[in-house]
Amino acid sequence: MSSTTQIDLVQNFLNALDQDRRECFLTYVDKTYSVYEIWLYAGVLGYDGGFSALEKWIVTKYPKLNSRELMLGEIVKLEGDIDFLRQQVMNDIVKPDAAATRIAHLSKELRGHVVEVEKMSKVTDRRGLVLAGADKVMRELKSIFKGNDDVINALELAYESVWAALVEEK
């Protein structure tokens, strides 16, 4: 499927939403960095397209800053700075006592970055699992009661309520 067709698929989904739901969804997309969470929310609203189509639409319309990726890049740079400073000490370019303070400072900064990346990963993983579990339960319930419009309508309202509660727990 071409990129334009995928973006049109998402645009058709948005056009089918009422004004309030579309505005809520677009606000959520704007403020949320997780494409996976956005995809789950779109599913709550009735999006039945693929993940890749939605991801391409998000990248095109709402580019995201990947702070985890930036932190990982900083970790690599800090490791390189520490190694470079150690090499300078070994080559008698920098005195060991002068380098020791700088290496200690860089090492402390490196550990802080590693801890921050681990926190980001744990929070993202935990939140993603909770949202994916809720999504799975609601899809299974809809599947079980398929054909019973009264129950399906009630489930869809419940699904949106559950989603709103989970999103508020950030």
Residues 56 and 91 both lie in one domain: no
Which of 40, 64, 88 is a domain's end point? 64
- Cα separation, 79 vs 85, in Å, equals 10
Structure confidence by residue, pLDDT tens digits, 24-55: 899 999 988 788 888 888 888 888 888 888 88
Q: Are residues 20 and 33 in the same domain?
A: yes
Q: What is the mean pLDDT of residues 136-150?
A: 84
Q: Which of 20, 43, 64 is the last residue of a domain?
A: 64
Q: Worst-scoring range by mean pLDDT, 105-109, 117-121, 127-131, 140-144?
A: 127-131
Is 153 found in the same domain as 86? yes
10 Å Cβ neighbour count for 58? 19
Range of the domain at 101: 66-170
Q: Are residues 30 and 77 in the same domain?
A: no
Q: Which of residues 43, 64, 85 is at a domain's end?
A: 64
Q: Are residues 74 and 142 in the same domain?
A: yes
Does one domain contain both 34 and 112? no
Rounded Cα gap, residues 26 and 32, in angstroms: 10
- Same domain membership, residue 146 and residue 132: yes
Instruction: Supply the pTM of this predicted model.
Output: 0.56
CA dihedral 160, 161, 166, 169 (to 10 degrees): 140
Closest CA relative to residue 163, chosen from 51, 53, 31, 37: 37
Mapping DSSP to helix (H, G, I), strand (E, B) and coil, where does residue 169 land?
coil
Q: Are residues 98 and 146 in the same domain?
A: yes
Same domain, 48 and 97: no
When divided into structural domains, the chain yields a total of: 2
